[in-house]
Amino acid sequence: MDPLTPLVANLQADGRLRVWSLVITAFGDLVQHRGGVISTARLGDLLGRVGVEPGALRTALSRLGQDGWVTSEREGRLSHYRLSDEGVREFAPATSLIYAPPRCEPVSDWALVIRLGSDPVLCPADETPDDADCCVVGALRHLSPAFRESLVQSQYLEALKRLAGDIGAIDAGHFSPATAAAARLLLVHRWRRIVLRHRELPAELMPPTEPLRNPRIDVARAYAQLAPLAEAWLDGEETTLPPMPAGDASFDQRFREAKA
């Protein structure tokens, strides 16, 4: 069986695939740190491995071009695409959120944050938003099961369940470079949708039975398994496509604390 089959099946189970969104994920994860330009041949090879037909990819690229997200240029028989300046600006905040380092140490100080007109939010004190109308900081002495349950949305738990399915299907030891690149695309695509739609909860606030109590750590570990092989594919291994430019320093900081 193709080792990508479980991951592709999980993607299809989400409903109608928005190919343009998958293309944006590909740019953010596999293109931007490699010079920012990708040929339609390489992009088609990558997305073809996850079930995207050439016609659907052409339609998605056309839409992204019309919406000002990407620009293209012709070189011989191939077209090359890059994010537009506006696209880069729009994607930058999401990139920082997607690849932020996981919290590995227990939370010692908590903040109860109140914004006028909104429900109170409990968060680590060092993550207190700047627009709080009231903020109380201290130790967390007690958390009832009922209150804990009220903090976690069912949609968030369902999204984490699907993420756990993807992570469980990743076995980099059986992946080729091309398969690892496609698997990394799918992993980041699901993670991207989670962090852009849901507020991350610290492990201390998650249900004790949840298998991904600190999902960012699990994503970072799976990403680290896939990264070397996926980068080898971008270097041109197992393909007749020209290698992409060498990766820049930003790649080494994904899911890691920035060096002082």
Task: Give SS3 for 46.
Answer: helix
Q: Quote the tokens at residue 77.
A: 């028989």
pLDDT of residue 260: 42
Position 125 scores a pLDDT of 94
Q: Residue 108 CB: number of other CB atoms within 10 A?
A: 10
Q: At what angle do helices 5-13 and 177-197 cross, to 10 degrees?
A: 30
Distances in Å between the alpha carbon of 28 and those of 23, 89, 101, 179, 189?
Answer: 9, 12, 17, 18, 10
Count of Cβ atoms closer than 10 Å to residue 127 Cβ: 14
Residue 112's H or E segment, with its range, is strand 110-114
Residue 255, pLDDT score: 96
pLDDT score recorded for residue 147: 87
Tokens of 65: 């071009």
CB 167 within 8 A of CB 6: no
Q: Is 176 helix (H, G, I), strand (E, B) or coil?
A: coil
Q: Indicate yes or no: pTM above 0.85.
A: yes
Average pLDDT, 10 consecutive residues per value, the chain (260 residues): 90 91 96 95 95 95 95 86 93 92 93 92 92 93 89 92 95 90 97 94 91 95 96 87 92 79
Reading the block at residue 12, the tokens are 């299809």
